[in-house]
Structure 1
Amino acid sequence: MPYNEFERCQMHPFLVLPKLSRGDQVAVISPSAGLPGLFPWVQELGLRRLREVFALEPVEYPTTRRLNAPLEARARDVLAAFANPAHKAVFASIGGTDQLRLLKYLDPAVFLAHPKPFFGFSDSTHLHLFLWNLGIPSYYGGAVMTQLAMPGHMHDFTVQSLTNALFHAGEVEIAAAAGYTDEASDWANSATWQAERRLDANEGWHWDGTADGAGRLWGGCVESLLAQVAAEKYLPSTAALAGSVLYLETSESMPPPWVVAYLLIGLGERGWLNHFQAILVGRPKAWDFAQPLTKAQKAVYCQQQRETVVKTVRAYNAHIPIVQNIDFGHTDPQLMLPSGQVARVLGSEHRIFLTY
């Protein structure tokens, strides 16, 4: 294990956030889409799981269930949720498409004065990266309407990962889930939306490269990262990012492989692919109501994305380990990735360790 790299990744200062206790209060916000207002029964199930599975007391903010709430109003809720000392963590209800436009209304001083863990994924990539720039760790995953409101019951794999993120401190070796699903329930159909989802067998991780690497996690949803790179307003400096571990995953929009390649080429031309110590890629979501692929079609889609990632990265960096098909992002069960915390990726042993 290259411990010199492990030490170098800690040159960028990050806060150590306190862990939660059972009975703590947490905030629930909708910084992107106010879908709890359209599907309140799904939101209510997620809130109940916070209470019953994790013994936490959720508090919603005014725009949480407000469809198309103005950006300024959503930003006020984000700031108020972090500023309230009674809240020990903040959860996003779900993702969306316009959170990047929210960031200009956020005051960094509020977050630095009241740092706390944030949970969410997809469009919440933008808030994760905003916090990363402030040296505040967060957790990529665990949205209220998706993972917490999983039909039937929460997956044990998800519960354990959320438990680690919320209550435990230290390094954890992760493993692949036994099964997964990338198919969704129709929230509008009250007769079927709570039916248990069928799980497919998980083929496990796909490794390329045998080097070892360690660094603080930085990344998110490919589509959101493309917007970040285009805006170029909230990206970290190359020096701050040096020694990090990149994580990527694609959303239910199911972008073609060239979209992933364009993002990686952009990062490569910045020189960043030579600064990352490893790359972790979540399992692609290969089914959506608009694109209900067959099992064979899913396999082709996922293979094409894997091959594109390896080919594009290797044009810039021949050595760093690339691990794909990991259980984070838009498929379930879901691993909580500790953004801003250290990940160790041992290509020599095909093992991954995350710091919670």
Structure 2
Amino acid sequence: MKHFQTLPKLSPGDQVGIISPSAGLPGLFPWVQDLGLERMRDIFGLIPVEYPTTRMMNASLEDRARDIMAAFADPNNKAVFASIGGNDQIKLIKYLDPQVFRDNPKPFFGYSDNTHLHNFLWNLGIPSYYGGGIMNQFGMNVRMFDMTIDSLKHALFNKGEFPLDIANNYNDEGLDWSVKNNLALERKLEPNDGIYWDGTTNAKGILWGGCVESLVAQMATAKYLPSDKDIDGTILVLETSENIPQHWIIEYLLVGLGERGWLDKFQAVLVGRPKAWEFNKQMTPQQKADYRDQQRKTVVGTIRQYNARIPIVQNIDFGHTDPQTVLPLGQKARVIVDKQIIYLSY
């Protein structure tokens, strides 16, 4: 099993770096970013410091990479947070100097396209946290979700093993960020479907994975993937983005992992609740339920062609719906099938 560093926990009053490794959307919707930073100060007691490209749309890959390295290299920063995701982060990985991160390891928070930076750090033996976007989770309309706050506090301040929470209700329908007053409106909540379990074997391992669409790019390049040896004893985590991809995409990713032999190496597979509504794909409640159901069937059907035993747990509260559990990548998790509970180590 791959070895990971143990990173120090933060304390209220600590400084954290804020970057936009993929898209400078804080420049288009500054009121959302500002609200997220205000919550970071007021709820968590942290002092955010933004870097030059954080609010800059279409910043060059080189400039964004420079800001990432500067945020990690600054000893005053005790953690680094991504504002939001995007779609081109894999292109800037080649501009990162691994030694900067080896010399200055610290917790990184982000999700979606930030899968690439998470994977980069994972390969260096630096754990990170999948979740906690400034604009998305910190800048949530009206208030942050309690479950999100609790999960972030575990990641930031607490050490130990905690059971995975399950939300009673969830949100996947946004409100237009271009209308500033929308931040004062509650988002629509719907009843949670609950957790779906498949398999009978308990498991434990180190978390690795991220957003399906980003992992497709990782598989296509094969330049930045972990080694076969490092994947031994890991638990795969997957979730799909606001693109609401067709089911063959997650199927092809899983087929690729299976043909690579990794579905025999993973100890379990954890899948986040798929987002099933976006402004350009406004599905009805029944269409959303059908989409989630078909993705679950696709995941189980594809994995079982390669591995008949590992536990597959789906509809977990991480990824592109809210509330959000922040997953500790590079750290241990236990999947207890007979008690239907998952423990995460922060």
Normalization by structure 1: what TM-score?
Answer: 0.96
SS across alignment from 2:54: coil
Cross-structure match for 2:332:
342
Structure 2 CA distance, aligned partners of 1:163 and 1:349? 26
Confirm or deny: 8 A CA contact 1:30 1:92 kept in the other structure.
Answer: yes
1:53 aligns with 2:43: yes
Residues 8-157 of structure 1 aligned to structure 2 (within 5 Å)? 11-157=1-147
1:283 aligns with 2:273: yes
1:210 aligns with 2:210: no
Q: State the Cα deviation string for residues 8-56 of structure 1 (Å, max 9, x = none).
A: xxx3110000000001000000000000011101100000000001000
Cross-structure match for 2:318:
328
The AA in structure 1 aligned to 2:230 is A
Q: State the Cα deviation string for residues 143-184 of structure 1 (Å, max 9, x = none).
A: 000000000000000000000000000110112111100011
Structure 2 CA distance, aligned partners of 1:300 and 1:69? 39
Confirm or deny: 8 A CA contact 2:140 2:183 kept in the other structure.
Answer: no
Confirm or deny: 8 A CA contact 2:31 2:180 kept in the other structure.
Answer: no
Structure 1 CA distance, aligned partners of 2:262 and 2:254? 9
The AA in structure 1 aligned to 2:64 is R
Structure 2 CA distance, aligned partners of 1:64 and 1:181? 26
Cross-structure match for 2:158:
168
The alpha-carbon deviation at position 204 of structure 1 amounts to 1.1
SS across alignment from 1:299: helix
1:304 aligns with 2:294: yes
Structure 2 CA distance, aligned partners of 1:48 and 1:192? 17
Structure 1 CA distance, aligned partners of 2:13 and 2:175? 31
The alpha-carbon deviation at position 346 of structure 1 amounts to 1.1
Cross-structure match for 1:313:
303
Structure 2 CA distance, aligned partners of 1:12 and 1:307? 31
Moved more, 93-102 or 199-208: 199-208
Q: State the Cα deviation string for residues 237-260 of structure 1 (Å, max 9, x = none).
A: 111111100000000000011111
Residues 179-218 of structure 1 aligned to structure 2 (within 5 Å)? 179-218=169-208
Structure 1 CA distance, aligned partners of 2:260 and 2:194? 31
Q: State the Cα deviation string for residues 274-326 of structure 1 (Å, max 9, x = none).
A: 00000000000000000010100000000000000000000000000000000
The AA in structure 2 aligned to 1:332 is D
Cross-structure match for 1:236:
226
Root mean square deviation, CA, Å: 0.6
Confirm or deny: 8 A CA contact 1:112 1:134 kept in the other structure.
Answer: yes
Matched length = 346
The alpha-carbon deviation at position 189 of structure 1 amounts to 1.2
Structure 1 CA distance, aligned partners of 2:145 and 2:338? 30
The AA in structure 2 aligned to 1:296 is Q
SS across alignment from 1:188: coil
Structure 1 CA distance, aligned partners of 2:170 and 2:204? 27
The AA in structure 2 aligned to 1:120 is G
User: Could you tell me the percent identity over the aligned residues?
Assistant: 63
The alpha-carbon deviation at position 190 of structure 1 amounts to 2.2
Confirm or deny: 8 A CA contact 1:14 1:137 kept in the other structure.
Answer: yes
The alpha-carbon deviation at position 192 of structure 1 amounts to 2.3
